[in-house]
Structure 1
Amino acid sequence: MSESATRNALDPLRTLFARDAAKVTAMFLGIWALFYAFGLALGYGNNGLLALVRRVTFLSAVYGIVVLALNIQWGYAGLFNIGVAGFMAVGAYTAAMLSSAPSGMPPGLGLPLPVGILGGMLAATVVGLVAALPALRLKADYLAIVTVALSEIIRIVYNTPAFADITGGASGFDNLPTSPVNTLLLRDPTSTISEPTAVGSVVFSLFEQFGIQRFTAINTVYTVGVLVALLVVYLILERTGKSPYGRVLKAIREDETAAQSLGKDTQNFKVRAFALGCGLMGLAGILWFAMGPRASITPTTFRPNITFYIFIALIIGGAGSNTGSVLGGALFASLLFEAPPVVRNIITDAFDVSADPANLVEALAPIVSGNLAPLAGFLLNNIDTLRFMGMGLLLVVLVQRRPDGLLGARKETAAGVSLAADTRPGGQSAANGGDDDE
């Protein structure tokens, strides 16, 4: 086949993958296929296979939401916020305080869950506004220092024994609000073994046909809901980015002085972008920690390493691209975060790696005699530490070699509508400068 024929044959495929939806769909299908294969290698049945795929899907979705939130701040407006974990904590804690049962420890207000979710997002937005008004007058490194300090202040306040009656102190919340999925599927939302509702009976019977346990079924439905939330957030931010407001944010990112010279109140735009991103970070904290499959809210949950992970995911996908944010979040959650421990389990099941050297020297020394077992044992036993080191190395490589990420360097439109087609009355072609042929 000639080169031109091959190129023509690939044109439909190129056209398809030029669409963002196709990129995201292909990525999720690839992730699901990979982890399904991992589950088969581990000998999982249908329930275990679904649980493994569901977990990586859930993490991909929540990472996608919080990376999108950071993208509106850093990718669009150039605001270097490294206090992401703190704003997630505000959202999660506020939702728990508002919607947890009054009989819990610490007691909540028992308000409906939608009120708790909106309250958590509003609280994160307000804290973002309070922080933004003075902090956004600072530049680059100074803004980063303020945001990370604020994040640690928030975490320490939640950890303070003096506020234990409200926040739970170091123990956090032990009676978190039940998710809407439990309310939809179970007559007693606080117990997974209670009688199902009419909807729950249909859902559970469908899953039971494939040997899926009730707990896995509930978590799967919740994960589908988080995917829907990711789609809604993505569509909102895509619309925002293509609006005049979004284009001003990009102008501020590129040259704030030039944007000011055009009469734009850049401080006002930055404050609104910062607050919007903080509100969405609060939503991510609620979906992830306050209502997730393994819901748990303690101060240690919101350490700065979460912010570090989110930045890596954004850099992978490409700052300034909403689709890149979703791709980066999913790739980080699946390949960098979830895959290494699963691969370790596969290797330990397939091979007898019993060596457990105390340090790297003991692991490397036997290599001279051709014994690789100590090194293999050392690597497998320290996979979590090595994974964290690998993330740092990847971050350095990405910043040096591909700072635009997978989709960061994309053509920016100067108008909110396509200029390819002539929309004037009469349909005169722009190619002839609008002159009549008469």
Structure 2
Amino acid sequence: MTSDASDGVATDGGTAADEQSPLAAVWEEDLVKIGVLLAGIYLAYLLVGVLLDYGVRGQLNSVATLTFYVALFALLSLALNLHWGYTGLFNIGIVGFMAVGIYVMAVVSKAPATEAAAGSVGGLGLPLWVGVIAGTVAAGLLGLVVALPALRLRADYLAIVTVATSEMVRFTFLSGTFERFEVGDLVIGFGGGSGLLLDFGSPVEALFDALFLSAVHDAFVGLVGAVIENNPRPVANSLLYGGLLLVAVAVYYLVLTRLGNSPFGRVLKAIREDEDAANALGKDTNAFKTKAFVVGCALMGLGGILWYMTSGAITPNTYRPRLTFFIWIALIIGGAGSNTGSVMGGALFAAVLFQGPRFLQSVVANFVEVEAPSSFGQALAPISASGDLVPLGFYVLDSVRQLQLIVMGLVLIFLMHRRPEGLLGHRKEPAAGVRLDRRGGDSAYTDGGETDE
């Protein structure tokens, strides 16, 4: 999509946008911005891998891990954008819906266990794709249960309800009451504090088998095996899974963009701007908010499934509010209300703030002889004595992963003060689904800024 946020009127009756160079016109395409950002991120990580002498296997693992987190934070930022960016719903219970998605999927798709297997907790043994659908639907249904009473609340009050729901979900999964119980001859449950083992094998291989594409999977494993001598299958599966997650990002992006530009999406944006005005125009704002909330919660549940289905095990304490905080930072970096910004914010957060400290620590340890103080007090002492900042700098570099949350908090404070509109700035939104001008130019927009994807 093109942008003409600051374009003036040209002397020939056209706009200045008509006179921009072809390169500038290409850059205005949002997909080009996403592509350039991702290319820069991957190039930076590959260069770090060269500096650290990773080798081929290490580089491929690094790319697979980066793709995994970039795609997942982009997915969840897009889902949150439907709530906050489009509808103005302040949901800070994201991790609860993620937990419901993966736990329901696990119970549905785990192999069955019987009472004969003492202490074991199994599942219903249904196909993996059935479990994915069940987990997504369960997260959406929880969203409906929360939405019916809570969406009459606004702002901080809705936030309190959603974070409370998230913690209720976590403590339910921790409860001994639901740790294991019998359903006929089967013993199922949520595993309590010990969690659940995910014993349904590789989701990548299961997907390719279900689509009758096992030959394609084996061919890719062989391709990776041509450059990796020992056991290429795990690396190949990680790369394929990252690729599938990027496909999921593209689907999320297209669906939410179409939704946002539809009459339904324009009502959501009207509710975000002034719910009372939208209600006065005859729109059932509670119904619109409920639908948006349920769809967003279902997408968050699917995001939780995609995140943890390859982890081998899940435990309730994984789903603490901190993860919700991460997703909010990713959305704020990109800019609420913009699907393009959500993807770019998720990618930047994953590469710089989430994975970046680990790489920075590795680079520093590889090239600099760091003799860091063992405590924060020892790092501060030379400052008061002689003004020496070097020990504090070494301490920060040595503890960068432990200080990660502090860095994220500082970044969030900076963004809220200096760039609250996000990476792409103010975005302009279509006022109609069809062109309103007679000359075939850009459609009319509700405000100044750039077109929103």
The answer to whether TM tops 0.5 is: yes
Q: Which residue of structure 2 lines up, in the alignment, with residue 190 of structure 1?
A: none
What residue is the counterpart of 1:427 in the other structure? Answer: none
Aligned residues: 407
Identity, % of aligned positions:
49
Does residue 57 of the first structure (1) align with residue 67 of the second (2)?
yes
Q: Give CA deviations for 1:187-211 in whole Å, capped at 9, x if unaligned.
A: 9xxxxxxxx9533431122112222
For 2:436 and 2:226, how far apart are their aligned partners in 1? 52
Indicate the residue corresponding to 1:266 in structure 2.
285
Q: Equivalents in 1 of 2:217, 2:295: separation in Å?
A: 35
How many Å separate the matches in 2 of 1:400 and 1:79?
22
Contact 1:321 1:408 in 2 (8 A): no
Q: Which amino acid aligns with 2:415?
A: L
2:51 counterpart (41, 47, 51): 41
1:134, distance to aligned residue in structure 2 (A): 0.4
Say yes or no: does 1:80 pair with 2:95: no
CA distance in 2, matches of 1:143, 1:8: 45
Residue number in structure 1 paired with 2:138: 123
Per the alignment, residue 129 of structure 2 pairs with 114
Q: Distance in 2 between matches of 1:52 and 1:279?
A: 30
Residues of 2 paired with 1:62 and 1:40: CA distance?
A: 26
Question: Contact (CA 8 Å) 1:353, 1:373: kept in 2 or not?
Answer: no
Q: Look up the match of 1:434.
A: none
Hey, what does 1:362 align to over in structure 2? Answer: 378
The structure 2 residue matched to 1:407, chosen from 416, 420, 424, is: 424
Contact 2:81 2:331 in 1 (8 A): yes
| Distance in 1 separating the partners of 2:315 and 2:110 | 15
Q: Partner of 2:28 in structure 1?
A: 18
Q: Is the 8 A contact 2:198 2:313 kept in 1?
A: no
1:145 aligns with 2:160: yes
1:315, 1:78 → 2: CA distance? 13
Instruction: Map Cα deviations across residues 58-100 of structure 1 (whole Å, 9 max, x no partner).
Output: 1010111111111101110100000000000011111111111
Aligned 8 A contact 2:198 2:314 in 1: no
Q: Are positions 1:101 and 2:118 aligned together?
A: no
How far 1:353 moved relative to its partner? Answer: 1.3
In structure 2, the partner of 1:222 is 241
In the aligned structure 2, how far is the partner of 1:269 from the partner of 1:254? 14
Whichever residue aligns with residue 107 of structure 1, its letter is G
Query: In the alignment, residue 148 of structure 1 is paired with which amino acid?
Result: V
Aligned-partner residue type, residue 427 of structure 2: R
Map of 1:248-397 to 2, 5 A cutoff? 248-289=267-308, 291-292=309-310, 294-358=311-375, 360-366=376-382, 374-397=391-414
Instruction: Say if 1:296 and 1:323 are closer, same or farther in 2 by CA, change over 3 A.
Output: farther
Which amino acid counterpart does residue 204 of structure 2 have in structure 1?
V
Q: Which amino acid in structure 1 is aligned with residue 198 of structure 2? A: N
More helix by share: 1
Q: CA deviation at 1:33?
A: 0.4
Alignment partner, residue 196 of structure 2: 173
Distance 1:131 1:373, change over 3 A: same
Determine which of 232, 252, 258 is the counterpart of 1:233: 252
Structure-2 change in CA distance of 1:275 and 1:157 (3 Å) = same
**C-alpha displacement of 1:408:** 5.2
- Report the secondary structure of 1:404's partner residue: coil
Instruction: Tell me if structure 1 keeps the 8 A contact 2:105–2:131.
Output: yes
Change beyond 3 A, Cα 1:176–1:136? farther
> Displacement of 1:183 after TM fit?
2.6
**Whole-Å separation in 1 of the counterparts to 2:109 and 2:387:** 60
- In structure 2, distance between residues paired with 1:304 and 1:295: 22
Within the alignment, does 1:30 sit opposite 2:40 as a pair? Answer: yes
Structure 1 stretch displaced more, 89-98 or 369-378: 369-378
Q: CA deviation at 1:295?
A: 4.2
Any conservation in 2 of the 1:38–1:343 contact (CA below 8 Å)?
Answer: no
Return 217-226 or 393-402, whichever deviates more: 393-402
Shift of residue 354, structure 1, vs aligned partner: 3.3
Rounded to whole Å, the distance in 2 between the matches of 1:36 and 1:405 is 27
Tell me, in whole angstroms, the C-alpha distance in 2 between the residues paired with 1:11 and 1:185. Answer: 45
CA-CA distance at 1:175 after TM superposition: 2.7
- In structure 2, relative to structure 1, the CA distance for the partners of 1:421 and 1:38 (3 Å cut) is farther
- In 1, the alpha carbon distance for the partners of 2:198 and 2:50 equals 36
Distance 1:408 1:138, change over 3 A: farther
Q: Distance in 2 between matches of 1:68 and 1:26?
A: 19
TM normalised by structure 1 equals 0.88
Q: Which moved more, 1:406-415 or 1:166-175?
A: 406-415
Cα drift, residue 334 of structure 1: 0.6
Partner of 2:14: none
| Contact 2:197 2:312 survives alignment (8 Å) | no
Report which stretch shifted further, 368-377 or 269-278. Answer: 368-377
| Secondary structure class of the residue paired with 1:152 | helix
State the Cα RMSD in Å. 2.4
What 5-or-longer segments of structure 1 have no aligned partner? 1-6, 188-195, 424-429, 431-438
Would the alpha carbon gap of residues 163 and 317 (structure 1) be closer, same or farther in structure 2, given more than 3 Å must change?
same
Say if 1:184 and 1:200, in contact at 8 Å, map to a contact too.
no
**Quick one: distance in 1 between partners of 2:258 and 2:283?**
20
- Per-residue CA deviations over 1:308-331 (Å, capped at 9, x if unaligned) read 011111111010001111011110
TM-score, normalised to structure 2, is 0.85
Counterpart pick for 2:175 among 160, 172, 176:
160
Q: 1:203 aligns with which of 220, 236, 246?
A: 220
* Shift of residue 296, structure 1, vs aligned partner: 3.4
Q: Note if contact 1:357-1:377 (Cα within 8 Å) is conserved in structure 2.
A: no
Specify the code of the residue in structure 1 equivalent to 2:227: F
C-alpha distance in 2 between matches for 1:9 and 1:352:
54
**Residue 8 of structure 1: how far off its partner (Å):** 11
